[in-house]
């Protein structure tokens, strides 16, 4: 299974984009969608309209948007730790998404913390 993803500004590193595409995902960045510097609500609305799962590191803002309106294709959140050594690598993000898929986890309308799927 592959996902249609929209990568938020904080998650659109070229290396991550390439890894996701190699893994078979349909990836669109906010830069490619001409959404740079737009409000988070506009980014999530675009993800809804385009039926794309949003991948972000801006967890608190998107968690609030999810709580206000949980109808969306899904939000994959990568929490950052003050200690950079504890942060997820790009490969760990790919593996966490693969673990979600292997578990047949229903992402739609969910705020999914990818860190919890990193094993």
Q: What is the pLDDT of residue 82?
A: 77
* Residues 77-116 pLDDT 10s: 999 887 777 789 999 999 999 999 999 999 999 999 999 9
**pTM for the model:** 0.94
pLDDT band of residue 61 (cuts 50, 70, 90) is: very high
Enter the tokens of residue 35: 């959404």
Helix axes 14-22, 90-102, angle to 10 degrees: 30
| Phi and psi at residue 93, to the nearest 5° | -65, -45
Asked if residue 23 has pLDDT above 90, the reply is: yes
State which H helix or E strand residue 53 sits in. Answer: strand 53-56
Angle at 72 between CA 81 and CA 9, to 5 degrees: 45
Q: Which of 20-24, 34-38, 83-87, 114-118 shows the lowest per-residue confidence on average (mean pLDDT)?
A: 83-87
Average pLDDT, stretch 42-61? Answer: 97
Confirm or reject CATH 1.10.3470 for domain 4-117, answering yes or no.
no
The pair of structure tokens assigned to 19 is: 């890894």
Q: What does the domain layout of the chain look like in residue ranges?
A: 4-117
Please provide the average confidence, as pLDDT, over all residues in the chain.
95
């Amino acid at each position: 299974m592959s996902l249609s993803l929209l990568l938020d500004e904080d998650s659109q590193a070229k290396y991550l984009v390439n890894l996701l595409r190699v893994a078979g995902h349909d990836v669109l960045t906010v830069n490619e969608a001409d959404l740079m510097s737009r409000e988070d609500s506009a980014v999530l609305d675009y993800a809804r309209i385009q039926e794309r799962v949003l991948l972000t590191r801006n967890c608190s803002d998107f968690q609030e948007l999810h709580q206000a309106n949980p109808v969306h294709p899904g939000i994959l959140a990568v929490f950052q730790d003050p200690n950079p050594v504890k942060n997820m690598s790009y490969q760990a993000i790919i593996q966490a998404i693969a673990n979600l898929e292997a578990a047949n986890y229903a992402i739609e309308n969910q705020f999914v913390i990818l860190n919890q799927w990193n094993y």
